[in-house]
Structure 1
C-alpha cells in the first residue's frame, strides 16, 4: 500500500527515511541531504510558497519517496561494488589465508592510513583543542557565538574530509554530503539543532581520539615493518660481511660470528622476519577494519537518527 502524498517537506523526508530503513547510514544521509536540498530549492522558486502544491508536482517529477529510495538503493549497489576489493583466487587452508593477505589491496590502504593517521591526528587534535579553548574564551564577548558556530562548521567539514580518506584507504562507505541544515528555520533554532545533534559531539570525540590512535598506529607500522625487514635481511648481510672480513673479531676470546653454526641460524632468523612481516600485514588489515567501524560509528548519523 502506497503512502499518502506528503504535504510538507518534513513529511516527505520522514517517508524517505522509512523507505530507506535498513540501508547504510552513510547512504541515508546522502539521500536525505539531496532530497531536502532539492525540495527547498523548488519551494524557494515558487512565488506562492505553496508547499503542498510544490510537493504534488515534485512527486510527479523528482519522484515519490519510495521511488527515490529505490533509485538510491540501486546506486548503492554500484558504490559498494566500487569499494569492494578485486576478487582474488580462493585460498584454502590456513597457510593460503595467512599469506593471501598480501594480495588484498585494502591491506596496503590500511598501512598507508596508519602512517597518515599520526599527521591527521595531530592536526585534528590541535584544531579541536584550539577551537574549544578559543570558543570558551570568546564566550563572554559578542563574537563568542559566531566564532563557536564557525568552529563547529569547520569540524563538520573536516569530518567529511576524513570520511573521504577513510573510504578511499579503508574501503568503508562514508557520506558524501553533510547533514542538511534547514535554512528556513530561525538562526537560533539552527544553532540549537547543531548543538543537540549527537553527531557534533561524536565528531569532536573522534578528532580527539585520532591523536593517541595515530601515534599507536604509526608505532605499530614503523616498528613492525622495521623489525621484520631487519630480521629478514640483516642476518644475511652480517653473514656475508663476516665471511669477507679481513680482521677477525673476538668476543670473550672466541671468534665472532661462530662460523660452525651460523650457516643454519641465518635462514632461520630470516624466515622469522618474513613471517613477522605477514603478521604485521594481518594486524594492519585488522586495524583498518576496526578503525573503519569506529569512523562509521562516530562520524555518521546512527541508524536510529537517520531513520527518524
Structure 2
C-alpha cells in the first residue's frame, strides 16, 4: 500500500509517499480501506516539529478517516463491506495518511448514508472536540449563552451547530467574509473580530469554547457570568490562567480530544436528523499532500480540508 511518511522534521516538502506493508489488525480491530482522510491544523505543526507528540521521525501523520471495512476477523462490531468513519487512537499514532488503516472497532462508527466519505472524514476530530467541549465539559443546556471563538473554522463551525441543537443562544467570532456562513449554521450573533473586540461587546456568557489560542482565553474572562465556564483546546495547561479564572469565580477546563464512541454516535444522530453538516473547503488527491498542508498553514479556512485516496 501507499503511505505518506516523513523521515525528518520540516516544511511540507518532507512528506513523502512510500510503499509499505498493509497493517495487521489486532484483536478488536478492523482493517479499513481508506477513501478519504480529514486533515487538521495540528498535523502541519507536528510535521514541523513544534512539539513531539509522536516522537522523532520517521512517522506517519493522520487520524480522521472514512472508508470501507476490508477485514474484521476478531470483532463483532463490523463486517467487511461496512462503510465506517472515525478518529482512531488519538493522541497515539494512527498512521492514517495511508491507503489502509488498522483501527480499534470501538473508535469507529457506521458512516451516515447522507454523508459522502469526504464529508465523513472531515468530521471526527472537530466533531468530537466540539462535543466533548460543549456537552461533556461545558454541560450546555437549553437557554445557555455560548460564545464560540472562530466560528468559521473546523471546530467552530461544528460547535455552532451543536450548541444550537442543544437550544443555546450562540454568539461567535468570525471575519466579515464568514458572516453569512456562520449565520447559516445557526449563529444568533456574530462579532467581526477584524473590527470589534469581542471582550468589549459580549457579556453574561455561560460557556466559552476557545480553539484560537493567544490571549483569547484570558480575554474571555470578562465575558463570562459568575460561575461561567471557559473550555479551551489550546491553553489547557496554563496554570497561571487557571488560577486567574478560579480567583474570579469562573470555571476553567482544558480539552484534549480523545476517541469517544458515545459522542461519535451522538454526532451521527445529529447528522441523520439534519441538525449537523460538515463543510469541506477543498479536497486534494493523495499525491498533493504537501499542497494541502500549505493551504492549512495559510490559515483562514472555512471548515475543513480533506485528502482523497
TM-score (norm 2): 0.26
Larger Rg: 1
TM-score (norm 1): 0.26
Q: Larger relative CO (CA 8 A, sep 6+): 1 or 2?
A: 1
